Structure 1
Amino acid sequence: MPGGSIYVQPNEKYTGSSPQWWYEKFWREDAPNRRRMRYVKAGVGFVIGVALALRFGLTTASPFCGLLLGGIVAGVDWYLDWRSFHATAVWRGARRGEAITGRMLRKSLGRLGYHVLDGRAIRGQASIDHLVIGPGGVWIIDNESWSPDTEVACYGGRLFFGEKYGSKTAKALVETAEKFAELLSRETRVPVTIAPMLAVHCGLLPKGGIVVAEGVTLLKPRLAAKVIRAAEDVVLSDEQIELIARTAARELQRT
């Protein structure tokens, strides 16, 4: 983020009485309750499995069907619990959002003629996590994470993070895009327009996983490459892509 991302703050952020620390504490203390509920769900699955087997005349196989369905129910319940906790990893400081998004971008876009530059900055000014250059244009992508219950939404054209306005965050990212575009246009003499994106690693996005507000597209990290590939117009030639990528690598400082 232009003002600094949550996962590059000092480690004290995730210790003591921080929200992240309390979240992990309550999660681990609730593990016995989750296991008990998993056993109950597996038991219900066993009964349903036996009943279905008997219903279709599989009397001798009914215990096996019950165990199979009970095991599937327990496995699915365990996976959903694990996925819920894993989804908060960036917010908790256990993983780095820029590493996750960068890997996804390179995997999805690298073979399609796109250049992905990680961790770039204009000296003494703005910085971003990813710069993507390809046939459909140029994008900057930053990473951010909020608490699991924070709703990211657009109301009346304004961006909200829970009950707080997100205008400051959006404005900073839009201004960063403009600064990067100005530098690249000046150095390459190619008119460059940059679209800003914010990859949201933890927080509640609406169905579809995308919010567009105040000039910024906020989305789940896995959707960033999909949105970039969806750009229908080819606005940059291969030569222009190479020129912009080389200029960016030369002029922009690594962070």
Structure 2
Amino acid sequence: MSGRLSGKVALITGAASGIGLATARRFAEEDAMVILADRDAAGLTAALAELQAGRDRHLAITLDVTIEAAWIAAMKDIRTRYGRLDILVNNAGFGRFRSIADTTLDEWRATLAVNLDSVFLGTKHALPLLAESGRGAIVNMSSMRGLVAGPNSGAYSAAKAGVRLFSKATALECAAARNGVRVNSVHPGHVETPLTAPAYANPDIAKEFLAHTPLGRFAQPREIAGVILFLASDEASYMTGSEVTVDGGVTAQ
């Protein structure tokens, strides 16, 4: 343990699996007190048990990131238990890929709610606590699809592009307020997670994706988590409003 996040309290959404869980593990390794948030109660229980390792240090919150009242309650719980919040990782998200013609309005709204509305709500309600810390950091999960579009990704691309510019706008607002909060976005490419594994197991899909990925392989969640850790740490103290692409070279082409 090198203690890069020693003494810091971090909230991670979508923390029951995938990139969120990998990030929680990295943060715990670096001595942070981690608050895992997800609507998967069973997954949260397992993740918390793994992180605690016999120490009552971390916390799990069942949270629907699309509900404002749930965010308000979560911030109240965090203030009561820890009295502070230093890091917010808005990671919760999902993708539903289909043509515009086949996308219903309800599907469009659900995609934006989980991927974009949640980032607004988390930021809005966490900012007071983050500002109190004096060196707060927000890391928002976008995607390479927030930088370059692909077929059948209209709703997802719109949401992730929104995360990108919302992050920049928030960064500038916080800088102008001199509240010490930095805001950056991360843009992963193809990452092997429980959500993507079924698609990547299809040889035709995998072949197509890898053909357009210069590094020739899918990323592992821990590789994305390492970038999130850097942005959340004081090592990135002069970074705000930045977008960090972790896509195996896809958008460099």
Instruction: Give the TM-score of the pair, scaled to structure 1.
Output: 0.30
Greater Rg over alpha carbons, structure: 1
Q: Which one has a larger percent strand, Structure 1 or Structure 2? A: 1
Instruction: Give the TM-score of the pair, scaled to structure 2.
Output: 0.31
